[in-house]
Amino acid sequence: MIPVIGVGAIITDNEGRVLVVRRGRPPGKGLWAVPGGKVRFGESLVQTAAREIAEETGLTIDVGEVAWVGEALGSGSPPSFHIVLVDFWASVTSGADRVPRAGDDADDIDWVDPRDSHRELVPSMYRMFEDLYGAALRSSHLNRESPATESEPIGTAALPPGDRPFTDESYETADLPATPTRTFRIPASGWVGAPDVLIRLGDELGEPVEYKRRIGRFLLWRAGPPVGQAEYMAVDAESVDQQFRFRLSGKTGEGWGPDGQRHERFRTWKEALRDA
């Protein structure tokens, strides 16, 4: 037996409520969770998120960054199930039908306040809401003696991307973290070695430039939201005069990579950075 990978999407409305569905099948039948499901063989995590949300809610979404990672285990030894959970931030595609309708594995659908939900959620949802929103939700599901029924998140508790404040700290190149920060953002102006072209990356969009992560020897920066139109720049940490840009618009984009190729997919552009 090996763990199953489950992918979900966190979709919010204008009031900050999160879209949830009531599960029509086990595990967790009758309980509420963000829409999602199991990864099929040969399917990417992003593809799974888009497919499952379409099946369970009827919505077409743009999938953003990973919001939360955890796991859920059933009772017993060995456990009756073991699911690795990956939840993405997502938004409804512009121009698409924005009215969710329950379907497939979901037998009902609703919007809930993640800080004050009175729905009976699957156990992992309480942990996720607490990590992402600072909620202090309580349920009989959290009071079971077996810790295996709860989800254990990986890493530090995160804030939603838009709620993370920009830090005033200054960073040398060597001090920029390898992976995204989860509770604050690093502006381009906070990088001691930032070239002027990076500082101006967000001028056209009217957006601040923030640090994302290291990919190989490159430092990845973004101006714009995680979903939708955004400008990305990868700066060579060893030679800041070497830069590569990618303009993302929805699910497609355009940019040149260090392999000398023009990329229309953000994923292949990042792979070129990694392999350079």
Q: pLDDT tens across 142-178, in order?
A: 333 333 333 333 334 455 566 678 999 999 999 998 8
The number of domains in the chain is 2
Residues of the chain above pLDDT 90, percent: 42
Comparing 93 with 138, which gets the higher pLDDT?
93
Q: Residue for token digits 């600072």?
A: 134
Average pLDDT estimate for 41-65: 92
Backbone φ and ψ of 62, nearest 5°: -100, 125
Can you tell me the distance from the alpha carbon of 98 to that of 131, in angstroms, rounded to the nearest whole number? 27
Name the DSSP letter for residue 175: G
The answer to whether residue 85 is domain-embedded is: yes
- pLDDT reported for residue 146: 30
Determine the pLDDT at residue 213. Answer: 85
Quote the pLDDT of residue 147.
Answer: 31
Residue 154 forms part of a structural domain: no
* Domain assignment of residue 142, given as a range: 4-149
Same domain, 202 and 142: no
Phi-psi region of 134 (alpha: psi -120 to 50; beta: other; left: phi over 0): left
Stretch 258-274: mean pLDDT? 90
Gap between the Cα atoms of 244 and 101, Å rounded: 42
Q: Are residues 21 and 113 in the same domain?
A: yes
Read off the pLDDT band of 20 (50, 70, 90). very high
Q: Give the distance, in angstroms, between the CA of residue 113 and the centroid of all CA atoms in the same chain.
A: 19
In a domain, 159, yes or no: no
